[in-house]
Amino acid sequence: MSIWSIVRFFKKTNSCKCCCPHKPKPICPPATHCNEKPGCEARRVQFASDSPVALNNGWTIAFVNTLEGFPPDPNICRNTFFDDSTIARVVELENPFVQQELLDRLGSCSVVVWATNNGIPTLVKLKPGSVHPVKILPTPSLSCLAYRICINDGID
């Protein structure tokens, strides 16, 4: 029996159970839901134009409605908005005051933003109002496009 007859036999008896041909997975996650609700873009534009926004816990938050890779300049928030602000940390995005502001501003519109997790650049999906509103995503590249949130937590 030749190798080719074994291959043909294998293909006939062990056919692929998945969708073939395989579509390559996108390297980077999309920054918004592919079928986002009407009005989501308008909410993002309004949030960005109102930024920076003071929260009831003394923090300040700013949303940047521009898709960009992870900023190489660690002072980008400081230079853009206000002193002592940084790219949001995952723990800050989980804060109840931040969550409430995101829900008020974005409604149920989900977005992917850049954040840091223990100092490591991380893509995070924000789904305001959901059971798990902050989800850390695989981050294959610093050039993935996402939105940016800057936060000043009032701690020097």
pLDDT in tens, 23-75: 555 589 989 888 888 899 999 999 999 999 999 999 999 999 999 999 878 78
The hierarchical CATH code for the domain 27-152 is 3.10.100
Domain boundaries of the chain, sorted by first residue:
27-152
pLDDT tens digits, 116-151: 999 999 999 999 989 999 999 999 999 999 999 999
Predicted local confidence at residue 6, as pLDDT: 45
DSSP string computed for the chain: --HHHHHHHHHHHS---S-SSPPPPPSS--SB-TTPPTTHHHHHHHHHHH-SEE-TTS-EEEEEEEEE---S-TTHHHHHT-TT-EEPBHHHHTSHHHHHHHHHHHTT--EEEEEEETTEEEEEEE-TTSSS-EEEE----TT--EEEEEEE-S--
Q: What is the pTM of this model?
A: 0.79
Predicted local confidence at residue 83, as pLDDT: 74
Predicted local confidence at residue 24, as pLDDT: 59
Average pLDDT over residues 91-96: 95
